[in-house]
Each structure stands twice: as structure tokens, then as C-alpha cells.
Amino acid sequence: MSSDIPPVLSTLRHFLAIQDTSPEVLTALIELSIRRKIQFRRGELRPMLQGKTLAMIFQKSSLRTRLSFETAMTQLGGHAIYLEDHQVGVATREDIRDMARVTSSMCDGICARVFGHEIVEKLAAHGTVPVINALSDWAHPCQALADMMTLQERFGRLAGLRLAYVGDANNVARSLLNACTKLGVSVALASPAGYQIDKAQVDAAWPAARETGASITLTEEPAEAVADVDAIYTDVWTSMGQEAEREQRERAFAGYQVNAALLRRAKPTAVVMHCLPAHRNLEITDEVLDGPASIVFQQAENRLHTTRALLEVLLGKPNPG
Ligand code: CP
Ligand code: NVA
């Protein structure tokens, strides 16, 4: 089965940010994930990571990400070790450079969920094994990969679709913007003043958008962003690490709820997306989250299929270290 991995994926060393990943690699990862999902359901997966170990360094809580990495390693015949920050002390008990070097000497890959994005970059720079960003304050590339896979499954294409992101311009929004523009999906971002995407991020996304013909629209008006789109996406207003700002954020985002009235402004065939966990009846209503337009739980399941494909590609190679 490994021979059917597209050659372009042999160029992939780490998966830290969508911004660093080429459109060809993203497309190949999505296609591989869809193929492996079908093979998985037929019981045709090969345990191709037998004897391999993934170290999972987590500074923050997780349901989907932890489940997807650990389950994928089990399904591929390998093993995963979950290391919480209070056990290993990222950058406190020891220097990240030493942690990277030691972990690389025993394990075949590292996935890390961290506050500062520079931590995953340092793990990659100082270790000798592939590093996967399992969410940083700046990016959530594994989520964006599963989101693109889910849209591809739903619409049978990505190029030419239109997506509106309504809410906080956070890690999920940044990765989504990069994935969409690289794959030809036009994006409209609706966020209140003070919570909008950095100009530098938008400037960095424009070259890919020009290449694929995607547009980028920034607005403060959710109704404007969702007009006639194929997909509406939202995420929590208060991300992990921002809990002290919760009240202030809930006030700022009060007009940004994804609800039935907003959904009616999108195309009749539009889907609703959320990376989860959701704060029900804050950023999204029960009615929409549980309604017929929601593909939220398909997104969540696809975290497993995309993660397994990533692990197969990155850990399936001989260890250069
Ligand atoms: N979407 C996502 O990453 O979920 P968890 O935080 O539960 O892993
Ligand atoms: N933006 C959220 C995503 C959780 C998957 C957070 O960082 O908490």
C-alpha cells in the first residue's frame, strides 16, 4: 500500500503550518486521506508503523486531536506516548532543544500541542524526527487539513467554493485562510474590531489566492460575509489560554452567532462547520449545530483519517537521525 503514496509527499519533513505547505502536498494529503478512509472502512489498512513510537507533548486540553493521534497509531500498528506538560515541563523542566534531541533519540515522531508556535518550530529545528503541530496559539494545520477533506467529500471539489468564517480570527481561522487560498476556495472573514486577522497574514495569503483565483474579503458584518457562500465556519470566541478575557470577548462577539437567520443568507446547499469543541448557543446555536446543514461531526471524524495519512507519510519513512 505504501507504493500508492504520491511522490510529492516524500518532500514533507514536518507539518507545522499550512503556510509552509505547498498546494500540491495539501492536495495529495487530502486525496490520500480520502482513499485511506475508504480502505479503512473495508478493513484493508496495513499496520505500516509497527514498532514505531509517537511522542505526544501536550500543553493544552484535547479530545479530538489526542484521540485521532493515539487511535491512528494503534490502527497503524505503532504506539503513542501521551506526555502532559505537568509531567515533562516544556521549557521549564528542561530546554526545548534538549527535549527535542532526547525525544528524537527514542521515538520516531513528535506531535505537540503548545501555546507558543515557536515551540513546535524549535522541536523541529533541534530534533531529528518529523514534528506535527497539534495546535499552537498561531495555527491549527491538522484541523484545516480535515476541514478541506470534508469539503472535498461534500462538494467533490474545492476550487471555486466560497467559505465564510464568522468569529475570532484565531489559530483555526489563520490555518483555514491559508488552506482555502492555496486550494482555490474564496474566503470572507467576519470579525469585530480588535479581533480581526493580522494584515501580515492576509498579505501572506494573497500570492496563493492570486495563483488559484480565490478571493479574500474582510468585513465586520457576518451577514455580508455569508451572502451566497457554500460553507459557514465558526469557532469558539475564547480559545484555550484566553479564559481571563471570556466576558469581554462574549460582549465583543455578541452579534457573531451562527444561527438559522444567518444560515438562510448562504446558498440553500450551504454547509456549517465548526472545529469543536463548541460552546453551544454562544457562537453557534443547537439548531444549526444539530441541523441538516451541519457537517461538524464529519469534520471531527476526518481528523482521524487525515492524521493517520499524515503519520503514514511522515513516520513511514526511515528515520534520518
Ligand atoms: N478540534 C480540535 O482540535 O479538538 P480538540 O481540541 O478536542 O483536540
Ligand atoms: N481556537 C480554539 C481551537 C480548539 C480546537 C483554541 O485554540 O482553543
What digits encode the pLDDT tens for the residues 274-300?
999 999 999 999 999 999 999 999 999
Q: Which amino acid is at 140?
A: H
What is the pLDDT of the chain when averaged over all its residues? 96
Question: Does pTM top 0.85 for this prediction?
Answer: yes
Could you tell me the pLDDT band of residue 91, with boundaries at 50, 70 and 90? confident
113 lines ligand 1 (CB under 6 A): no
Q: And the C-alpha cell for 9?
A: 509527499
Is 62 close to ligand 1, i.e. is its CB under 6 Å away? yes
- What is the tens place of the pLDDT at every residue in 237-277? 999 999 999 999 999 999 999 999 999 999 999 999 999 99
- What is the per-residue pLDDT for 319? 54
Domain layout of the chain by residue ranges: 7-139+303-315, 143-300
Least confident of 84-88, 178-182, 220-224: 84-88
11 pLDDT more than 80:
yes
Spatial separation of the C-alpha atoms in residues 229 and 68, rounded to whole Å: 30
**Closest residue to atom 5 of ligand 1, CA basis:** 62
pLDDT attached to residue 31: 98
CB 63 near ligand 1, within 6 Å: yes
- Which residues make Cβ contacts (< 8 Å) with residue 275, sequence separation at least 6? 140, 143, 147, 172, 235, 299
7-139+303-315 and 143-300 agree in CATH topology: yes
Architecture of the domain made up of 143-300: 3-Layer(aba) Sandwich (3.40)
Residue 117 CA to residue 122 CA, distance in Å, equals: 9
What is 7-139+303-315's CATH number? 3.40.50.1370
What Cα–Cα distance (Å) separates residue 38 from each residue in 9, 31, 306?
Answer: 20, 11, 12
Looking at all shown ligands, the one closest to residue 299's CA atom is: 1
